Amino acid sequence: MTRVILQRLLQGLLVLFVLATLTFFLVRALPYGPFQDERAVPSHVRERLEQLHGYDKPLVVQYAMRLGNLARGELGTSLKVMEGREVTAILAQAFPVSLALGLMAMLIAVPVGVAAGVIAAVRRNRVVDYAVMAVALLGICLPNFVIGPVLAELFGRRLAWFPVSGWEPRDLSFMILPAVTLGLGSAAYLSRLTRTGMVEVLHQDFIRTARAKGQRESWVVLRHALRGGLIPPVAYLGPAFAATVSGSVVVESIFQVPGIGRLFIKAIETSDEALIMGPVLIYGSLIVVANFLADLVQLWLNPRLRSNS
């Protein structure tokens, strides 16, 4: 087990290294830089700025310096979006917001998606199944930027159950609408995956054995079928979780949530390298960790995998 964990850790570091390298060179390949502005910047000012931030050195030297700083845990300073502020400090403020929102979204998506998928599988090819799957398809097809404003209009303005937008750190009511918007797509996709997994398992011989024992149908589903049926959705949950908690540009913009998704887009627009690198590395780490967790859950669900490793 320790060997597997160590192996995964090294793999994760490699992933982060590749991500950092790609990000660095892609940002530098952009046709605009952080020292350009709508108004023309006098050339001597610009040269001075480039010198100050090391942009005058050869690219390879800059790359080496950047990696060295990253290895020491220094993300650098934002050059444009939040001029002069440490990226670490910016992220320390914005990431918890995205994380809370993402966790809330998953907290909604997982139970709803799994329950809907199980119900659809048990009532396969009946009205309930068709209804659930139709709603799920709609949930997959409708983009965030359609669902978000509709929810804001309906529950924020007309019914006034929740605030239309904004964010208060310890106020759940601000979280509901963006979390639902963010979670709906995942819930829809999860329900379809769960249904597929459950339908497959419910056809197996051992389900018939459980029924032949006189087990109630609800227990046949929960005790005998659910474990196997959850394997496909769990594989999807790893990356989905990472994507959700690392911030959504669209949802954070619609509901004016001060998370990292919005920062990230602004950083790209202005070629603010340090502020691009931060979120990319957070997202990368989350993907690595979430996939590892998903694998652990798979091991827990499936004893046959356990004996092989």
Q: Quick check: 227 binds other proteins (CB under 8 A)?
A: yes
Q: Quick check: 223 binds other proteins (CB under 8 A)?
A: yes
Among 51, 56, 63, 12, smallest CA distance to 277 is for 63
How far, in Å, CA of 270 to CA of 284, rounded? 22
> Residue 124 in contact with residue 262, Cβ under 8 Å?
no
Near other proteins by CB under 8 A, which window of 95-103, 106-114, 129-137, 217-225? 217-225
Near other proteins by CB under 8 A, which window of 151-159, 165-173, 198-206, 245-253? 198-206
Q: Quick check: 217 binds other proteins (CB under 8 A)?
A: yes
Minimum CB separation from other proteins for residue 136, in Å?
Answer: 25
Minimum CB separation from other proteins for residue 238, in Å?
Answer: 20
Q: Quick check: 126 binds other proteins (CB under 8 A)?
A: no
Count of residues that interact with other proteins, criterion CB under 8 A: 22
Q: Quick check: 29 binds other proteins (CB under 8 A)?
A: no
Reading the block at residue 105, the tokens are 């979204």
Q: Quick check: 213 binds other proteins (CB under 8 A)?
A: yes
Select 40 or 212, whichever has its Cβ closest to other proteins.
Answer: 212
Q: Quick check: 204 binds other proteins (CB under 8 A)?
A: yes
Q: Quick check: 41 binds other proteins (CB under 8 A)?
A: no
> Residue 96 in contact with residue 258, Cβ under 8 Å?
no
> Residue 291 in contact with residue 299, Cβ under 8 Å?
no
Q: Quick check: 51 binds other proteins (CB under 8 A)?
A: no
> CA distances (Å), 254 to each of 138, 149, 262, in order?
20, 7, 10
Q: What residues contact 199, with CB distance under 8 A and at least 6 apart?
A: 121, 124
Minimum CB separation from other proteins for residue 220, in Å?
Answer: 10
Q: What residues contact 132, with CB distance under 8 A and at least 6 apart?
A: 116, 117, 119, 120, 191, 195
How far, in Å, CA of 296 to CA of 235, rounded? 10
How far, in Å, CA of 182 to CA of 255, rounded? 11
Q: Quick check: 123 binds other proteins (CB under 8 A)?
A: no
Select 25 or 206, whichever has its Cβ closest to other proteins.
Answer: 206
Q: Quick check: 127 binds other proteins (CB under 8 A)?
A: no
E-strand stretches of the chain: none
Q: Please give the residue ranges that form the binding site for other proteins (CB under 8 A).
A: 204-206, 208-217, 223-224, 227-228, 301-304, 307
